[in-house]
């Protein structure tokens, strides 16, 4: 337990120092490049992050930065000066959370169905080859196909509405690639397991390869899901930038893109910081539950 807490703390400090370096060590002032930034907002942001301190006051600036980020006090927003950055992020969190939940449900259900079909019909190699091709399909090609099928043929809403059907295409677009990544993850795991001594032992007792693989999959499903979760969340967040922008979903991915266009460095740092914290938290949690210590691999 102490190792996981120490790993989380060290990684968090590394992310904080990286954000601090971007804010203070690069030439110029990051707030001067933001569009429509009034002198009052500029002064507030500069003071909040220690920009008005002398250049040599490194430790004082880092101390202020550390307190602000650890207390989630990120100052006012460049996009909406009447709001704080954390208010803007929390407001964008609900649509992204809905998109994530829908996508993860599709990923877990569809990948598991495909896995059972592949093992049941003994077509693991064919499904893995198809999965490798499927993950190479770019999102900007997949989304028009989904719009043509669901929007034009089945008349589902393309624009976001309160009806649940308006979430089908965004969730499907975001889940498509992770479905086959997760499928290949499971198929590769069961292939490695088939070379272990216990597998060969039960083959000698008369069990078929299909029975043993299905038995292993039932035992390992939740373990595979948990181990795959940290990377899955990062993949979904990166994919949400394009999906949310295309479907005009006012979520975190849309906020990230708009912050890039507006050169809102504070919001970009906050999104990077919070995303990193989420990844570290889920990775430590999954490793702790699975009793997986990375030091044992060396």
pLDDT of residue 297: 46
pTM of the model: 0.75
pLDDT confidence of residue 298: 39
Average pLDDT by stretches of 10, the chain with 298 residues: 78 85 67 60 75 74 85 81 86 88 88 86 85 80 75 65 73 86 82 81 82 72 63 77 83 86 82 85 74 52
C-beta atoms surrounding 290 within 10 Å: 12
Radius of gyration of the CA atoms of the chain, in A: 23
Per-residue DSSP letters for the chain?
A: -HHHHHHHHHHHHHHHHHHHHHHHTSSS-TTTTSTT--HHHHHHHHHHTTTTS-TT-HHHHHHHHHHHHHTT---B-SS-TTSBHHHHHHHHHHHHHHHHHHHHHHHHHHHHHHHHHHHHTT-HHHHHHHHHHHTTS-HHHHHHHHIIIIIIIS---SS--SSGGGGHHHHHHHHHHHHHHHHHHHHHHHHHHTTSHHHHHHHHTT--HHHHHHHHHHHHHHHHHHHHHHHHHHHHHHHHHHHHHHTT--SHHHHHHHHHHHT-HHHHHHHHHHHHHHHHHHHHHHHHHTT--GGGG-
Torsional sign, CA 264, 265, 266, 270: positive
For helices 209-246 and 265-289, the axis angle rounded to 10 degrees is 170
Q: What is the pLDDT of residue 262?
A: 77
Q: Which residues contact 210 (CB under 8 A, 6 or more apart)?
A: 119, 120, 122
Is 89-274 in CATH node 3.40.50?
Answer: no
What local confidence, expressed as pLDDT, does residue 9 receive? 85
Looking at residue 285, what is its pLDDT? 75
Q: What is the dihedral of CA 110, 116, 119, 123, to 10 degrees?
A: -40
Q: How far is CA 35 from the centre of its chain?
A: 28
- Taking only the tens place, the pLDDT of each residue in 29-81 is 555 545 556 677 777 777 777 767 776 677 888 888 888 888 888 888 877 77
Answer yes or no: are the C-beta atoms of 92 and 255 closer than 8 Å. yes
């Amino acid at each position: 337990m102490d190792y996981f807490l120490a790993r989380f703390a060290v990684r968090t400090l590394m992310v904080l120092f990286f954000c601090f370096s971007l804010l203070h060590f690069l030439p110029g002032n990051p707030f001067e490049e933001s569009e429509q930034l009034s002198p009052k907002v500029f002064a507030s942001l500069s003071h909040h992050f220690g920009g008005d301190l002398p250049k040599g006051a490194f430790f004082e600036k880092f101390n202020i930065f550390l307190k602000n980020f650890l207390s989630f006090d990120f100052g006012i927003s460049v996009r909406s000066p009447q709001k704080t950055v954390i208010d803007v992020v929390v407001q964008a969190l609900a649509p992204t959370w809905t998109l994530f939940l829908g996508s993860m449900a599709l990923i877990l259900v569809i990948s598991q169905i495909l896995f059972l079909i592949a093992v049941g019909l003994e077509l693991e190699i064919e499904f893995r080859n198809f999965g490798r091709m499927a993950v190479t399909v770019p999102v900007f090609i997949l989304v028009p196909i989904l719009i043509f099928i669901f929007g034009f043929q089945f008349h589902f809403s393309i624009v976001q509405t309160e009806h649940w059907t308006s979430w089908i295409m965004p969730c499907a677009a975001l889940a498509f690639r992770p479905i086959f990544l997760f499928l290949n993850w499971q198929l590769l795991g069961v292939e490695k397991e088939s070379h272990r001594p216990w597998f060969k032992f039960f083959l000698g007792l008369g069990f078929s390869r299909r029975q043993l693989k299905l038995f292993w999959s039932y035992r390992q499903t939740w373990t595979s899901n948990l181990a795959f979760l940290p990377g899955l969340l990062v993949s979904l967040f990166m994919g949400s930038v394009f999906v949310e922008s295309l479907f005009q979903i006012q979520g975190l991915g849309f906020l990230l893109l708009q912050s890039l266009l507006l050169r809102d460095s504070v919001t970009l740092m906050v999104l990077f910081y919070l995303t990193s914290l989420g990844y570290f938290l889920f990775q430590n949690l999954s490793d702790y539950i699975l009793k997986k210590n990375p030091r044992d691999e060396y």
